[in-house]
Amino acid sequence: MTKTVCLTVLLAIPAPLCLAAGLPTDNPAARYKLAWTDKAKWDQVVSIEDFKGKDMIERIDKAQEALTKKGGGVIYFPAGKYEVNDTIKLKSNIILRGATPEKVKDARKDDYAPPTKFIFPTYKPTFEGEGTPKDTAFKGVELADMNKDTHCGVVNIDLDHGHIHFGVSAYDMKQFEENFATYGRNHIIYGNRVSAAAVLDPSVPRKHQHKWQRWTFRHRAAIEMRVAANALVANNRIPMSRKDNFTMKGYKVFAGTGTKATKEIEVEFKYDNRPGIYMNYGTVSGTPETKPTCFVKGMHIRENYVYCDGCLAIGFSGDGTYCGYNIVRYGKGVYLPIYNGYNESHHVNNVRAVEMRGWRWTVEHNDYLVYKNVFDKEQGLCYNDGEGLMHESHCNVDIRDSKLINNKGNSYLCLWRAPMNGLLIKGNEIDTPNKMWGAICVNGRTHRSKKKLIIKNVHILDNITRQAGIMIVGKEGENNIIKGNRHEGPNGFIRNLIDPKAEVSDNEGYETK
């Protein structure tokens, strides 16, 4: 049977005929052994080649309509380039799937390139009057109804100038809470390459700025997921996009925080000055009973490559979220004189490899190189951020039964101003010059040390540190262990400011204080 015949009558024939026609019917994420991924209709496939229309959006809509009548399925895009002139709106139970890469299958490798490519519009800036309209570019793949669409996916597609957003942003948490009972779940974003992906900050330009000014939105990631349960973001690549940036001369900003005086500077619009991957990232408060939207289960972020020039590479919240085997890279010496698009400021730009929120998370085998953004090129001033793996008190809850295992990076593990009961920090290799807080920092005290917090069952075991050591501070310590760690080079210290009964033993190369 030819491909055309199989695709035309697909909705009435068994899956093996589609397989014979060259259409993939397997679960690409099967190796992760997540049972819910098997429930997608992988064997119900139509090819985009069988749907005609005035543009790609119309063809995709027709394919979705055909699949929706049968409860959903996969729209397959054979290898090739596809011009997509607008944002694709996915309906429930629809998955977009490209051809499987034949040679390089690991998205963390530099030459990873899915053979199916979506080319979204490129923004062509003008620097006068109203500027180029915002809606001429910054497209991507989103859900038709972000408050309820479920079982959606994007698999093995190279998105040029296109983002992937499944669910509302962190700014729309009220919608999430109001629709939580029927909100989407079981989403898969797998095997994609997402380059030059950003959206515009809706608040720029402000009244004090030129109308042509544009800025990336620091609260929207290149790949973003918000679910009521079960999500997988795996084996995706978000590469460097510097060739797509553009310089804006005479960019008007407030000359500092809290002032109305303006100045004009030269800045670069950077597509990579945006978060990389967000999964249910947002304010976490309460408990699973009082605030279930903050403690969603079944979320996995693994084996991705994320490049950023600014903002957070990977951010998540939830209950039991898994984040492992990712590679994070930042540009070194990147000049970002403004963080929010409208005022010059020394405020943090949230440059962090991973930020954890919620309970019972596991962060393991991640490899990261993170650098502070330069504020003043001539003086070499930097922002006061650039953290490695961080759980901070702001917009967060206490730490419970969580794990940092076998991570490797150049900036500290920062457990910041939160009570803790159950934290394993084991087998990490951290090389950082942060001599104030250390390579491993368990900080159980509030701002300006006004209050010390309870730290219990924190085990810091078998780690390697360089340039700086280990610090743990809090009160009412119980069952805290610092054991088997090794420091290489000078400035090794263990500062146990919490628990005189803590076990501190078998550590090498440290001065204990």
Read off the pLDDT of residues 316-358 as tens digits, 9 standing for 90 and up. 999 999 999 999 999 998 988 888 999 987 778 889 999 999 9
Q: What is the DSSP letter of 14?
A: -
| pLDDT for residue 2 is more than 60 | no
Contacts of 4 (CB under 8 A, 6+ apart): 49, 50
Task: Give residue 171's pLDDT.
Answer: 81
Task: Average the pLDDT over 170-197 and give the result.
Answer: 94
DSSP string, 376-443: ETTTTEE-S--EEEEEESTT---EEEEEEES-EESS-EEEES--EEEEEEES-EEE---TTT-SEEEE
Alpha helices (runs of H) in 77-186, residue ranges in sequence order: 173-178
Q: In 10 A of CB 55, how many CB atoms?
A: 11
pLDDT band at residue 6 using 50, 70 and 90 as cut-offs = very low
Q: Using a pLDDT cut of 70, give the percent of the chain over it.
A: 95
Longest dimension (CA), the chain: 76
Q: In 10 A of CB 408, how many CB atoms?
A: 16
Contact 439, 461 (CB under 8 A): no
Read off the pLDDT of residues 476-485 as tens digits, 9 standing for 90 and up. 788 999 999 9
pLDDT band at residue 497 using 50, 70 and 90 as cut-offs = confident
Domain boundaries, the chain: 3-397, 398-513
Contact 256, 324 (CB under 8 A): no
Q: In 10 A of CB 242, how many CB atoms?
A: 15
Question: Exposed (0-12), middle (13-18) or buried (19+): which is 229, by Cβ within 10 Å?
Answer: middle
Read off the pLDDT of residues 219-263 as tens digits, 9 standing for 90 and up. 999 999 999 999 999 999 999 997 889 999 999 999 877 788 999
| pLDDT for residue 9 is more than 60 | no
Q: How far apart are CA 402 and CA 289, in angstroms?
A: 19
| pLDDT for residue 10 is more than 70 | no
Contacts of 103 (CB under 8 A, 6+ apart): none
Task: Give residue 271's pLDDT.
Answer: 97
Contact 440, 461 (CB under 8 A): no
**pTM (whole model) above 0.85:** yes
Task: Average the pLDDT over 364-380 and give the result.
Answer: 87
Of 452, 429, 454, residue with least CA distance to 440: 429
**Measured between alpha carbons, how far is residue 102 from residues 89, 156, 234, 242, 445 in Å?**
28, 11, 18, 27, 52
Read off the pLDDT of residues 108-149 as tens digits, 9 standing for 90 and up. 999 999 999 999 999 999 999 999 999 999 999 999 999 999
Task: Give residue 4's pLDDT.
Answer: 31
